[in-house]
Chain A
């Protein structure tokens, strides 16, 4: 097994009705087991990028290798979709059945998993997203965060190696957002490779790697500390730094000796306490 689970080589993709590339000469890799954020303004090509990764669309030029398989290779289409599952923004568009358990079973039924294996897979998937108690409930009565967790369970039951999230928390309230993000982080800690598209900088700050898309191109990749080190540069791409990073930057500009790399409240309080100890 290669350590690089997703590899894009000089990939271009243009929608038929458009005059320019939605994804424009993008090369990137994602390591196995990594949690990767993809940021970018509305319309920057993030969603197109993840659709290329699981073969929903095929590149006009360049190569996409997902778990070693070329997405252009016809015989791998179903294998790739099974190994790279996708969760979308709107929880209401992703649930189809009238009972949670059946919803989780839906994907399995469509991939020919033996029915004797299904209960075990469904139970494990619901347990992983902490929704075991809701197995017999009606999906439409769940909260947004719970619905997204059921959608995640539906993907998990297919036992993928990669999960792709396209703004999966955008329509949730803060409680739902936290629920879903924590669930995904836990899956990642257990080995799942995650690609996480978001507009929330605090979420990106908690990923291992951050990629920034702008006008279809990949303009910056690095650790959150690297990517969030220059606020002005991010603002040129219509992004920003997390609030604590902005505060730290203002304080540094005023001569306070805070180090670079502060992104979270924990970082800030730790560094402030360290400074205070030497006052």
Chain B
């Protein structure tokens, strides 16, 4: 699977007094098996970009290609595109609507025209994959669940389509610290199982721990694109854009006052190793 943006621009309400260009001349390719984080301020165009990935929005200029084919072309089934590329919205639980969890998760597969048996298989599988017990939860109302559980049910609804690629808009927003860690572990699990992941996040600590590629958006433009190591090596640039960097990166910058050659530590385990080396002179694991 390969998803390509070819000079994509999107302008909301063109020709009206409210005309606003949300993304401008974006070109990028996302390949199978990638884990890409999309970062930038509110209003930088991240969500607009994400909504082009499964044809919820179509470009004002440029094209979005899935395996070389323009997904907005006549004759391309949007349903197929959305089955292959699943989009999980921010605060996705606000979109739950069915009487039971099982019905809610079944909504997508049923619309694909799958048989009741196949739909049921998908629902069981999807709930299990988001860490919920089918036996305990399937017949309950989604609205009596906790916030974190509702979020998982919403994700299960997308997973039940067995997408090749998942696009998640701030999947952990508003959750308590363990809820956040659990959702991040789930997303990492999807990735390990072979799903291509694109994740919008404001949490640089989460991004640093999970993503293998980071795309930085600023004022509708793609301004940086690289590995976490490459992006955060330029921590000063991110600070200039008034973006956050992981705490371990800020710590690394500070510690360069003492050790000018202190490495840029992107993840907590790197910071641990680097400090252990400096302070104990080696990897003195107990």
A1: chain B residues at CB < 8 Å are: none
A62 within 8 A of B: no
Interface string of A248-276 (1 = CB under 8 A from B): 00110111110000000110110011011
Q: Which of B180, B204, B258, B275 is in CB contact (< 8 Å) with A256?
A: B275
Least distance between A173 CB and chain B CB atoms (Å): 5
Interface positions, chain B 247-283, Cβ under 8 Å from A, are 247-248, 250-251, 254-255, 257-259, 268, 271-272, 275-276, 278-280
B272: chain A residues at CB < 8 Å are 247, 250-251, 254
Contact status A256-B279, CB under 8 Å: yes
- B174–A279 CB distance below 8 A: no
Which residues on B sit within 8 Å (CB–CB) of A268?
251
Task: Report chain A residues within 8 Å CB of B254.
Answer: 265-266, 269
Chain B residues with CB below 8 A from A173, complex form: 41-42, 202
Identify whether the interface residues of B are mostly helix, strand, loop, or mixed. helix
A219-258 CB mask vs B (1 if < 8 Å, else 0) is: 0000000000000000100111011101100110111110
Given A143-B43, A247-B271, A276-B279 contact (CB < 8 Å): yes
CB–CB A175/B177 < 8 A: no
| In contact, A272 and B268 (Cβ under 8 angstroms) | no
Binary interface encoding of chain B residues 152-167 relative to chain A, with 1 for a CB under 8 A from any of its CBs, else 0 = 0000000000000000
Question: Can you name the residue of chain A whose Cβ is closest to the Cβ of B244?
Answer: A174
Check A139 for interface membership: any CB of B closer than 8 A. no
* Residues 28-79 of A at the B interface (beta carbon under 8 Å): 40-43
Judge if B117 is at the interface, Cβ distance under 8 Å.
no
Establish whether residues A272 and B175, one from each chain, have CB atoms under 8 Å apart when the complex forms: no
- Least CB separation from A42: chain B residue: B147
Tell me if A144 is interfacial: C-beta within 8 Å of chain B.
Answer: yes
Residue of A43, A89, A143, A247 ringed by the most chain B CB atoms within 10 A: A247
Cβ B148 vs Cβ A176 within 8 A: no
How far, in angstroms, from A33 to B51 measured CA to CA in the complex?
A: 46
B:56-98 near A, CB below 8 Å: none
B279 touches A279 (CB 8 A): yes
Chain B residues, Cβ within 8 Å of A242: 247
Cα of A8 to Cα of B248 in the assembled complex, Å: 39
Question: How far is A43 from B178 in the complex, measured between Cα atoms in Å?
Answer: 13
Q: Answer yes or no: B118 CB below 8 A from chain A CBs.
A: no
The residues of B that contact A207 with a CB separation of less than 8 Å are: none
- CB neighbours (8 Å) of A42 from chain B are 146-148, 174-176, 179
Docked complex Cα distance between A40 and B250 (Å): 27
User: A138 interface residue, CB < 8 Å from B?
Assistant: no
| Chain A hits for B204, CB < 8 A | 174
| Residues of A close to B179: CB separation below 8 A | 41-42, 238
The reply to whether the CB of A199 lies closer than 8 angstroms to some CB of chain B is yes
With A247-B268, A265-B254: A239-B177 Cβ-Cβ less than 8 Å: yes
User: A172 CA to B90 CA in the complex, in Å?
Assistant: 13
A41 with B178: in contact, given A243-B247, A254-B276 (CB under 8 Å)?
yes
Within 8 Å of chain A (Cβ to Cβ): is B193? no
Say yes or no: A201-B177 contact (C-beta < 8 A), given A174-B243, A244-B247, A265-B251: yes
Residue from A176, A199, A239, A279 whose CB has the most chain B CB atoms within 10 Å: A199
Shortest C-beta distance, A132 to chain B (Å), equals 21
Asked if A97 lies at the interface with its beta carbon under 8 angstroms from chain B, I say no
B286 within 8 A of A: yes
Asked if residues B275 and A272 are in contact (CB atoms below 8 Å), the reply is yes
Q: How far is the CB of B131 from chain A (nearest CB, A)?
A: 14
The reply to whether the CB of A170 lies closer than 8 angstroms to some CB of chain B is yes
A238-B176, A251-B279 known; 9 other A-B pairs, CB under 8 Å?
A42-B148, A199-B175, A243-B247, A247-B248, A247-B271, A247-B272, A256-B279, A265-B247, A272-B279
A sample of 24 inter-chain contacts (CB < 8 A) reads: A42-B148, A42-B179, A43-B147, A143-B42, A170-B173, A170-B174, A171-B174, A173-B202, A174-B202, A174-B244, A238-B178, A239-B178, A240-B178, A247-B272, A250-B272, A251-B279, A254-B276, A254-B285, A256-B275, A265-B254, A269-B255, A272-B278, A272-B279, A273-B255
Binding site for A on B (CB under 8 A): 41-43, 146-148, 173-181, 202, 204-205, 242-244, 247-248, 250-251, 254-255, 257-259, 268, 271-272, 275-276, 278-280, 284-286
The 8 A-B pairs at the shortest CB distance, nearest first, are namely A238-B178, A174-B244, A240-B177, A269-B254, A41-B176, A42-B147, A173-B42, A243-B247
